[in-house]
Amino acid sequence: MRKYLKPVSLLLLPVLLAWTGVSAFAEGDQMSFTTYYFSDSGDNSVFTSSFNLAKKLMQQTVLLIDIELDNVSVPAITAVTGATRPQRRKSEPFKKNRGQIIIGVEQGFGQNTTVAGNFYRSQEVDYTSNAVVATLSQEMNQKNTTLSFRGQYNADLVGKISETGELTNRRKKVYTGAVNLSQILSPTTVLDVAYDFVYLRGFLSDPYRQVRVYDALGASTIVDELHPSTRARHAGTLRISQLISSIRGSVIGSYRYYIDTWKVTSNTVEFKFNKYVFNDFVFSLDYRYYAQGGASFYKDRYVGPQYQTTGLRTADYKLKPFSSNNFGLSLTYLLRGLGKDNPDLEFLQNSAVEFMYFRYFNNLDFSADIIQANIKFSI
């Protein structure tokens, strides 16, 4: 029973915060609380609570604040290679907290142009990230077309906790650029086209993953994985959203193509169906298919002395050739009905509770049952 006390308390925290804080909320501002719980059949779990505030400073100037707290639990290590957690106390679950804060300003120019700048910081025991983000959004064609640009720079410290508890950090820098075009094709159809580019430089391996290297006689040693120090990623996405008024539902279909300088290519197809079951209940079905080729330096078996020194090597399954399927279903309860006739619950008008189940499996003999629960309160 105690196992469920923490996730339940985290899920209910936004209710208390929203109820007690609603009286101090100024007209024209927007505020939301979200609690998220994730668990899979591999005993990985994540608890997340976040607070978002959009505070109007002037007519077209908005202050943006986002605070997020995570509690992550990773199971004990059961294999020599492929671990993505410290070896220290490897027979026990590894638990860590992560804090994130985003502070920014959004400025409107006229009726159709918005510019925003944000500072982001995320910190956990073995990873720190600082970033600056700039976005530009332009509405055109009587607001039927929206073109947006985003640029982001990250300076990260990738840490490794040794078996003695010492922390060693290595640097990674990430440069991101993205462009998105959203076009209303009809009153019930929206088309989105996006392209994003990511350039990474620095330490791009996982500090905890290790690779078994063999010699000509079959003897083996364990060494840390070694990835290239740079990587450029390109991805293009096409998505169409269609409202089906006759059944009070919608269909969303998307396709994404990805390629990078490590010679990894992938194709992703996803479909989602949403339907009102009752006025305040939405049922959703989701299917995602993913297929990729392997990185140029990926091998099933690394043989030779070069792989004990400078030879590129990996234990990351995400760099193997593989395909996966993900089936999901969810039920969302819109809390607006509770606030219609009760002034004390008026803050629930834009709030919702969502429960999701996913079944994931791939051709690498891995499968997982995933359960997620979200509570969001928007004022």
Place of tokens 């998220």: 36
C-beta of residue 90 within 8 angstroms of C-beta of residue 75: no
Q: How far apart are CA 113 and CA 286, in angstroms?
A: 34
How much is the pLDDT for 173? Answer: 98
How much is the pLDDT for 92? Answer: 67
Q: What beta strand segments (E) does the chain contain?
A: 30-40, 45-58, 61-74, 94-109, 113-124, 127-140, 145-161, 167-186, 189-202, 210-214, 220-224, 230-244, 249-260, 265-278, 281-292, 302-303, 322-334, 352-362, 367-378
**Amino acid sitting at position 259:** I
Q: How far apart are CA 118 and CA 289, in angstroms?
A: 34
Q: Which residues in the chain land under pLDDT 50?
A: 1-25, 80-82
How much is the pLDDT for 2? Answer: 46
Indicate the DSSP class of residue 3. G
Angle 89-49-71 from CA coordinates, rounded to 5°: 0
Give the pLDDT confidence of 301-335 residue by residue, as tens digits: 999 999 999 999 999 999 999 999 999 999 999 88
Q: How far apart are CA 355 and CA 376, in angstroms?
A: 12
How many other C-beta atoms can be found within 10 angstroms of the C-beta atom of residue 84?
13
User: Hey, what's the torsion of the CAs at 235, 311, 79, 168, to 10 degrees?
Assistant: -80
Q: How far apart are CA 46 and CA 279, in angstroms?
A: 31
Q: How far apart are CA 290 and CA 213, in angstroms?
A: 30
- pTM of the entire predicted model: 0.86
How much is the pLDDT for 77? Answer: 58
The set of residues, in sequence order, having a beta carbon less than 8 Å from that of 218 and lying 6+ positions away, is: none
How much is the pLDDT for 220? Answer: 93
**Amino acid sitting at position 343:** P
How much is the pLDDT for 162? Answer: 85
Could you tell me whether strands 352-362 and 230-244 are parallel, antiparallel, or unpaired per DSSP bridges? unpaired
Q: How far apart are CA 228 and CA 205, in angstroms?
A: 8
> Any bridge partners for residue 159, and if so which?
169
The set of residues, in sequence order, having a beta carbon less than 8 Å from that of 173 and lying 6+ positions away, is: 153, 154, 155, 156, 200, 201, 202
Ramachandran category for residue 165: left, alpha or beta (phi over 0 → left; psi -120 to 50 → alpha): left
Distance, CA of 325 to chain centre? 18
C-beta of residue 158 within 8 angstroms of C-beta of residue 166: no
